[in-house]
């Protein structure tokens, strides 16, 4: 009996241990795997848009086209079904434009460290210099770096990317330049999952109604100026205009000092919520306008200190922040394939 009891005790103990290992290790992994809010990848997005129509771009000639723009041009005008433009790894040196009549375009790269669209151009015209321009409704990009590597040698010029589309979403992408990196001109937009945006002066600007979810904002110090640059330059002309840049989570870091934002309109609206702010963020504010709405909500890090903040700067309550940090701010549930 003692031997039998001992065997049963050993068997039960082993079984219990296996159950505990399963609960502690495998179950959480499964939960994450089926949680849309955790990881948004290319296969998920392709499944969500519900298409198997793919145009392949390969700079080595192993696809349908060697040029991204040629692939875009091949999409029929007035297109009404999602088309995947798979841009394989490599540096694609060209300007790319998605015109208004090329709706439902999903540009899929092989990762922002592998697929890049690069051009070099400066202009006093914010649109003319853009490496990448999207004006078509219902646009998605995944895993692509967009870069304008023109030297920053002329004051008041732009080297940027231009987003003027209604309902545009960027996942795991990167935007590189210095002055005026991302012209988020107008429309509802969503940048998500470690989108990386780099610049020095006013490098996220426009009047978009936009959520930047879990994005990395990297500041590059501009040695040509004594006054610090700003991350945002949001334009909002009146109280009824539904626009404003909302940064949720993510982090701001880099080289040199920078302001979180300056106003491009009397009702300019920018909110940083639950964002890590490195010491590169200086406490002062650049502008003081009567209707300015530049605010923070539960930010953290050495740059999030309220000491030295202007007396009119805002620290939002839970109730004040709620309508802005929700995906409903951009009506995302009605058009985004996935969101966090």
Q: What is the CATH number of the domain that holds 168?
A: 2.160.20.10
Per-residue pLDDT at 11 = 40
216 CB burial (10 A radius; 0-12, 13-18, 19+): middle
Does a structural domain hold residue 285?
A: yes
- Residue 27 belongs to what domain range? 1-34
pLDDT band at 154 (very low <50, low <70, confident <90, very high): low
Residues 155 and 114 in one domain: yes
More confident residue, 314 or 85: 85
Does a structural domain hold residue 146?
A: yes
Does a structural domain hold residue 340?
A: no
The residue count of the chain comes to: 340
Per-residue pLDDT at 33 = 30
Catalytic residue among 184, 202, 221, 318: 202
Per-residue pLDDT at 258 = 85
Q: How many folded domains does the chain comprise?
A: 2
Per-residue pLDDT at 94 = 97
Per-residue pLDDT at 225 = 57
Residues 69 and 196 in one domain: yes
Question: Would the pLDDT of 20 be above 50?
Answer: no
Residues 145 and 17 in one domain: no
**Looking at residues 324-336, what average pLDDT do you find?**
97
Does a structural domain hold residue 108?
A: yes
Per-residue pLDDT at 71 = 98
CA separation for the pair 227, 147 (Å, rounded): 25
**Looking at residues 79-98, what average pLDDT do you find?**
97
Residues 123 and 4 in one domain: no
**Looking at residues 78-82, what average pLDDT do you find?**
95
Question: Would the pLDDT of 171 be above 70?
Answer: yes
Does a structural domain hold residue 339?
A: no
Residues 60 and 179 in one domain: yes
Question: Would the pLDDT of 91 be above 80?
Answer: yes
Per-residue pLDDT at 145 = 96
Question: Would the pLDDT of 153 be above 70?
Answer: no
Residues 78 and 101 sit within 8 Å (Cβ to Cβ): yes
331 catalytically annotated = no
Residues 139 and 223 in one domain: yes
Residues 25 and 129 in one domain: no
Per-residue pLDDT at 35 = 34
Residues 160 and 14 in one domain: no
Does a structural domain hold residue 7?
A: yes
Residues 21 and 100 in one domain: no
Residues 15 and 59 in one domain: no
Residues 30 and 46 in one domain: no
Question: Would the pLDDT of 13 be above 60?
Answer: no
Residues 46 and 29 in one domain: no
Per-residue pLDDT at 81 = 96
Does a structural domain hold residue 96?
A: yes
Question: Would the pLDDT of 25 be above 50?
Answer: no
Average pLDDT, the chain: 84
Does a structural domain hold residue 45?
A: yes
Residue-wise pLDDT for 206-239, tens only, equals 999 999 999 999 998 766 655 567 899 898 888 8
């Amino acid at each position: 009996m003692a031997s039998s009891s001992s065997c049963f005790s050993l068997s039960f103990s082993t079984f219990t241990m296996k159950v505990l290992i399963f609960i502690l290790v495998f179950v959480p992994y499964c939960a994450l795997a089926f949680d849309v809010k955790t990881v948004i990848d290319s296969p998920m997005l392709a499944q969500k848009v519900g298409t198997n129509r793919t145009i392949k771009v390969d700079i080595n000639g192993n696809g349908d086209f060697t040029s991204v723009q040629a692939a875009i041009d091949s999409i029929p005008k007035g297109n009404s079904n999602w088309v995947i433009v798979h841009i394989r790894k490599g540096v694609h040196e060209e300007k790319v434009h998605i015109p208004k009549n090329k709706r439902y375009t999903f540009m899929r790269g092989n990762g922002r460290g592998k697929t890049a669209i690069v051009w070099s151009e400066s202009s006093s015209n914010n649109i003319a210099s853009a490496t990448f321009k999207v004006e078509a409704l219902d646009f998605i990009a995944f895993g692509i770096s967009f870069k304008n590597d023109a030297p920053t040698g002329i004051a008041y010029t732009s080297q940027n990317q231009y987003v003027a589309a209604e309902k545009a979403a960027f996942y795991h992408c990167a935007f590189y330049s210095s002055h005026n990196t991302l012209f988020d001109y107008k429309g509802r937009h969503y940048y998500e999952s470690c989108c990386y945006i780099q610049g020095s002066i006013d490098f996220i600007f426009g009047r978009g109604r936009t959520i930047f979810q879990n994005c990395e904002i990297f500041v590059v110090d501009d040695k040509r100026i004594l006054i610090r640059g700003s991350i945002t330059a949001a334009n909002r002309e009146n109280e009824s205009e539904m626009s404003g840049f909302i940064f949720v989570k993510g982090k701001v870091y880099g080289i040199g000092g920078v302001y979180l934002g300056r106003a491009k309109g009397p009702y300019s609206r920018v909110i940083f919520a639950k964002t890590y702010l490195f010491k590169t963020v200086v406490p002062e504010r650049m502008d003081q306008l009567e209707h300015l709405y530049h605010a923070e909500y539960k930010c953290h890090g050495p740059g999030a200190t309220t000491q030295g903040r202007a007396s009119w700067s805002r620290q939002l309550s839970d109730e004040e922040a709620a309508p802005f940090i929700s995906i409903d701010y951009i009506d995302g549930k009605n058009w985004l394939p996935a969101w966090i």
